[in-house]
Structure 1
Amino acid sequence: MIRMLLRVLGDEYARPVRRTVVLMTAAAVAEGLACALLVPVLRALFGDDPGGALPWLAAFGAAVAGYGVLRYLADLSGFRAGTTLLRGVYHRLGDHLARLPVGWYTGDRVGEVSGLAGRGVLQAMGVIAHLLAPFLTACATPLTIVAVMLAFDWRLGLAAAIAVPVVAAVQVRAGRASAAADAERAARDHEATGWVIEYLGAQPVLRAGGRGTERFRALDEALRGIRRASRRSLVSALPGVVGLALTVQAAFTAVLALGAYLVLGGDIGAAELLAVLVLAARCADPLLSLADLGGQLRAARAELERLDTVLRTEPLPEPAEPVRPRRHDLEFASVEFGYGGRTVIDGLSLSVPEGRRLAVVGPSGAGKSTLLHLVARFHDVQGGSVRLGGVDVRSVPTEVLMERIAVVFQDVHLFSGTIEENVRLGRPGATAAEVRAAAAAARLDEVVERLPRGWETEVGEGGALLSGGERQRVSIARALLKDAPVVLLDEVTSALDPVGEAAVHEGIERLSAGRTVVMVAHRLRTVRGADHIVFLDGGRIVEEGDHEGLLRRGGRYADFWRASTSGVPSGGGG
């Protein structure tokens, strides 16, 4: 488990972990040796010269003090290493999640990552601080005492030593019996977390339909699944707990019976037997704790394995020989892409000259939004290439590519903070004047002026305290401040009221001026202003041309146009 922990964290954390393991092992051995000094102490106390016990009592006191110092240092090292590892794994996990392709974030992974980043990481990293010391004590202290018993009387020591592999076998068997049930319970837990997130997100819809107080069937079923899995986990662990207790008690009884036999035969004295029984009893306590510790360690190991699986997921590769594009035209060359066994883009070829605007329209699921994602390299193409300035985007370093591209999505996500902080994300080093100029161009200044706290207004989690149109203006201001030469627009006005749409459209016009633009849209004024229009369906270009020419052709685009002008929905994102 320690090896997996170091693999998850990296070699830079190996030294504090190994130092902690050494200190904890030394403390456990010191505890066993301190207990071993009870043999000469009791032998002297119950012998002919009780005063001879004083030197042994002094040695026992010194051993206990040494054990106390080692235990303090080991626990302190464990807590320090635990906090260091916790900080390190959060940083590594966060950096890795930021590099994974957007396509990796499927719906079922939201609950998994949420649980892993919260309780899962704490549970896995808590091993060093809370579980390692008692586990090493349960292993090293009894082994030390058994070694002392072998040195004192090989027969009693051998009887105690025989119990060691039996206890280990029972513990391993119990762990294997519980592993499947524990895995099922963890899977149910992650599933329920995902349903809780969906249930909370669905509150506006449920309440709008007058069903806000209704039970959520999928969530209820997931919670019932957790209860059933938890019951099975407890039942599967019960034989191991009982078996371990019976094995330890049987070993203690065997040592007691053998010791009584040796006393009656005159081989050892009663004082020696009493000391051996004290040592055997001291062995029993940590061994009995193995059942509980084993369950906690299995749970922590399961979280470590899930964390290791996420961290082993390959991010999009960085180019071995990076190239910086000098132009900002776009080209899709025989692009193929799909997921889930479905082809989304099928052999598409298309070019967008620098400084021109391309509008992509088509029915829902046609692959429109996927085109934008491929330009921004949220995914890598599976065939063909996407080129920026004649350079395959896979050959452009991620930071350079992101510097050249500004993206405005339909569903704008703002971070908790003020309006100004969210705008500054476009270019953190911008001056106040540049921020204000970008806001004015996006007509965000109108929003700021009517808010009581102005630029210091908190937007709430995800921008929940602003309207959809206000969030879009923040997003456009952010893109304007970034001043990237390539702009990707994804249905940015589809859900806005006419007033909000007019303001956002004006911001889009200013954002698009002089830049290479690819827009996914179905609002008329946005499409009509494009230099070139392609109608996409099934991942292929069905029609392309300018607005007037496509209308005269009377094909799919003309049908789309008529449906839009008549107010009939013509298809959403794709």
Structure 2
Amino acid sequence: MPDAIAQRDSRANLLYADEQAPLTWREAWRLLVKSWPFVSRYRRLVAIKCALVFISLTFFLMTPWPLKIVIDNVIDGHPLTGVPAAILTPLAGTSRSGLLLAVTLFLVLTVILIGMVHGEAQALGTNVNSDGLDQAGITANDANDGSSLWNGLFGYLESRVTINLTQRMNQSLRTAIYERFLRSPLALYADQKIGDAVFRVMYDSASIGPVFYRGVLAPIMSVFMFVMAMIVLSAQFSNEPVIVVGAILFLPLIAIGSSLFGRALRAQSQSMRESGSNVMAAFEERVAQVQLIKAYGQESRETAAVDAASWASYRSTFRMLAIIFVLVIVLAPVCCALIGYALYYLMMQVIVGRITLGDIVLLASYGSMLANPMAIIGGTWASVQASVAGLRRVHSVLDNLAEPVADGRSNGLGARIRNLEFSGVAIGYGATAVLSGVTMSMRAGEMVALAGASGCGKTTLINSIPRFVEPSAGTIAFDGVDSRAVAPDSIRARVGFVFQNEALFSTSIEDNIRYGSAGASKADVREAAAMAGAAEFIERLPDGYSTMLGRRGARLSVGQKQRIAIARALLRRPEIIVLDEPAAPLDPASESALIETLTALACDRIVIIVAHRAGTLAACDRVFFIHDGTIAASGTHGHLLATNRDYQAYLAQSGAEIPA
């Protein structure tokens, strides 16, 4: 078990180390496969979108024929042959005007269904109206993609389906990442930049849409279109195989050219995303520390730091554009040479009478049509590089961040927790040991304290009770049940926590107290507030329990915020109450009132207090003194004061009053 825990902690500490390695095509393929479940769960929408796409493609492939028929059969008077004759002769006969009417009606129907050929289909999209080139702006558009290749009735329907599908895929992946961050070990947040985590949740999650559209659907659609066009051209120009072969040769040319730049595009895409997350992290951290920045007059310095990070993000984007520009420069001359030769060859065939002007129009239309699918087929690998880079950042979270769960060896805890026991417990972060050989026991009906110098491991020790931190050795047991055999959620439902740094939301006081106990009544909220000594000041506020708090409760004093946090813990009616230095922000009178409350609560539950003040320590039934990385002594405050020199020195150093 300890080896498994150490391995998991190691994975958490090295969460993003693998992102620095080059992204190979094997890993890219693995990421695409692993992302497929987030698409396949919406099979119905995928099926509807595919149906609309392929029906629209069928109409699109037929659009070049009316112009050929008008030139060859209506204007020049050539008789209809082949498939057009089989379809149109029964409808229009041999009349040129009838043939023109049939062709016109077909074009009107096509415009209604799929819009004008090569029209501005993006007008149907829902992209964010931003011209920014930063990665956040680009991926915001990916997250809201609802565009269609068409702008008629089918285009409208497809856009609506695409919007729905994109949002559902993106939301499911975004929620999965967010939940994984919430359930990750607390040790992760010692090194994790919050801005980077937000970027992964908000923007990297948007990679799932482009992966499906550009990496799966677009290539399939393009292959279908390319194959159908080749079938039509082979049938129509069976006596001119050079035309068909020339059209086919464009595909490998574009594919080879795009693949040559794949690695550079992948690497630069990764760099773009890292630069984007750095901007968000820099901004988030400085907003969180705005009071410190103002106190030291560093506004200009910190503004310059965020500005530098933002420009670094833009430079990363411009480097990506430069790579794409070079790709175009390399391929464009070759493509232009082939197109020029093709035009010369076709015109010569018209001169000698082997093909007609209508055939030229048909070939030009199909050539224009095939340019896009050929570019999509050949450039698929290049086009998904940015998305694959985002997916790697997504799956770094999904693969590596996981909270420990019960191993199934126990049926869980009893009706009430009566005893909490530490046996030879060692705790640390990664390879750094904080505590070792910790052995102590606590029972319901007593209030105990953890004392020791700052940084000795008191907070780490209490964080191990609800499995925020896992021991690397020894056991923590509730009524004899190893905590590792119980799911963390089951333990946390029985433990009430009051943190050293108050944690309040920008909602009402009542909502903050009720947090974690959504079903509690108003009477329960008021009872908990009274027990915590918060009812009096809350009721004096103009809006009482409905008073809205500012950011982190900025409208309240430190002591008031602490009492609301205590009320929130008490509302859950926990069997174990853990308070991390609850009296630190309180005046002596408030501390005395709080101790009275906690003493009353300890009559039928375990109350654990991390404390420095002699008054708080003296009120506890027992004190566990942490020194030199372990429990050095335990007993009442008076006993330790009389027998332990290290305890005396600790109290003297902390500034507490030592009675004679």
TM-score, normalised on structure 2?
0.77
1:75 aligns with 2:159: yes
* Equivalent position to 1:325, from 402, 407, 413: 413
Aligned to 1:269, which of 333, 341, 356? 356
Structure 1 letter corresponding to 2:633: E
SS in 2 for 1:324: coil
How many pairs does the alignment contain? 568
Residue type of the alignment partner of 1:429: G
1:116 matched residue in structure 2: 200
Contact 1:407 1:489 in 2 (8 A): yes
CA distance in 1: counterparts of 2:34 and 2:57, whole angstroms: 22
Sort the Cα spacing of 1:554 and 1:318 in 2 relative to 1 into closer, same or farther, 3 A: closer
State the shift of 1:218 in Å.
Answer: 5.0
Q: Residue in 2 aligned with 1:27? A: 56
Alignment CA distance shift 1:499-1:44 (3 Å): farther
Q: Secondary structure at the match of 2:203?
A: helix
Q: 1:546 to 1:160 in 2, by over 3 A?
A: same
Contact 1:142 1:286 in 2 (8 A): yes
Contact 2:449-2:608 within 8 A present in 1 as well: yes
Local SS of the residue matching 2:475: strand
The aligned amino acid for 2:52 is: L
8 Å CA contact retained: 1:41, 1:57: no
Moved more, 551-560 or 83-92: 83-92
Q: Secondary structure at the match of 1:443?
A: coil
Given the superposition, is the C-alpha separation of residues 331 and 279 from structure 1 closer, same or farther in structure 2, using an over 3 Å criterion?
same
Of 210-219 and 400-409, deviating more is 210-219
User: Do the aligned partners of residues 316 and 3 (structure 1) sit closer, same or farther apart at CA in structure 2, a change above 3 Å counting?
Assistant: same
Q: What secondary structure sits across from 1:108 in the alignment?
A: coil
Q: 1:433 to 1:452 in 2, by over 3 A?
A: same
- Please name the residue that 2:76 is paired with: 47
Matched residues in 1 for 2:327 and 2:278: separation?
Answer: 28
The equivalent position to 2:189 in structure 1, one of 99, 102, 105, is 105
C-alpha contact (below 8 Å) 1:319/1:394 kept by paired residues: yes
Q: Is the 8 A contact 2:38 2:173 kept in 1?
A: yes
Q: Report SS of the residue matched to 1:232.
A: helix
Q: In 2, Cα distance between the equivalents of 1:243 and 1:195?
A: 38
Q: Secondary structure at the match of 2:63?
A: helix
User: What CA distance in whole angstroms lies between the structure 2 residues aligned with 1:466 and 1:512?
Assistant: 28
Matches within 5 A, 1:505-544: 505-537=595-627, 539-544=629-634
Find the partner of 1:558 among 648, 652, 655: 648
How far apart in 2 are the matches of 1:42 and 1:355? 98
Q: 1:478 aligns with which of 558, 563, 568?
A: 568
SS at match of 1:105: helix
Q: In the alignment, residue 32 of structure 1 is paired with which amino acid?
A: L
Cα distance change of structure 1 residues 267 and 319 upon mapping to structure 2, 3 Å threshold = same
Show the counterpart of 1:182.
269
CA gap 1:440/1:149 in 2 versus in 1, 3 angstroms: same
8 Å contact kept, 1:358–1:531? yes
Question: Corresponding residue for 1:256?
Answer: 343
Quickly say closer, same or farther: Cα 1:102–1:218, change in 2 above 3 A: same
Deviations 1:28-53, CA, capped at 9 Å, x for gaps: 35423434555445432453245545
Q: Letter of the aligned partner of 2:169 in structure 1?
A: L
Residue range with higher mean Cα deviation, 122-131 or 452-461: 122-131
Judging changes above 3 Å, is the alpha-carbon distance between structure 1 residues 528 and 140 closer, same or farther for their aligned structure 2 residues?
farther
Q: Percent identity?
A: 26
What SS does the corresponding residue of 1:375 show, helix, strand or coil? coil
How far off is 1:484 after superposition? Answer: 0.6
CA RMSD of aligned residues (A): 3.3
Between 364-373 and 404-413, the greater mean CA deviation after superposition: 364-373
Match of 2:519 among 429, 441, 454: 429
Contact persistence 1:524–1:564 (CA under 8 A):
no
Q: CA deviation at 1:273?
A: 1.6
Partner of 1:449: 539
Q: Unpaired segments of 5 or more residues in structure 2? A: 1-28, 79-95, 115-151
Q: Call closer, same or farther: CA 1:58–1:538 in 2, change over 3 Å.
A: farther
403, 415, 423: which one aligns with 2:505: 415
Distance 1:567 1:242 in 2: 79
For 2:489 and 2:654, the matched residues in 1 are separated by: 39
Find the counterpart in structure 1 of residue 10 from structure 2: none
Deviates more, 1:250-259 or 1:120-129: 120-129
Q: Which range moves more in the overlay, 383-392 or 30-39? A: 30-39
Structure 1 gap ranges (5+): 569-574
The match for 1:377 is 467
The residue that corresponds to 1:571 in the other structure is none
Query: Contact conserved, 1:150 with 1:157, CA < 8 A, in 2?
Result: yes
Instruction: State the Cα distance separating 1:486 from its structure 2 match.
Output: 0.6
- Relative distance call for 1:470 and 1:294 in structure 2 (3 A) is farther
Which deviates the most, 406-415 or 231-240? 231-240
Letter paired with 1:320: G
TM-score, L = length of structure 1: 0.88
Distance 2:184 2:363 in 1: 59
Q: Distance in 1 between matches of 2:586 and 2:333?
A: 70
Answer whether contact 2:426 2:437 (CA < 8 A) is retained.
yes
Q: Which amino acid aligns with 1:390?
A: G
Match of 1:167 among 254, 258, 275: 254
Give the letter for the 1:167 counterpart. Answer: I
Q: Is the 8 A contact 2:254 2:378 kept in 1?
A: no
Aligned to 1:355: 445
1:63 Cα deviation from its structure 2 partner: 5.1
Whether the 8 Å CA contact 1:24–1:136 is kept in 2: the answer is: no
Q: How far apart, CA to CA, are the structure 2 residues paired with 1:287 and 1:23?
A: 21
Q: Which amino acid aligns with 2:583?
A: T
**Separation (CA, whole Å) in 2 of partners of 1:213 and 1:497:** 38
1:204 to 2:288 alignment: no
**Further displaced range: 314-323 or 423-432:** 314-323
Distance 1:566 1:386, change over 3 A: closer
Provide closer, same or farther for how the CA distance between residues 230 and 85 of structure 1 changes in structure 2, counting only shifts above 3 A. Answer: closer
**CA shift in 2, pair 1:459/1:261, >3 Å:** same
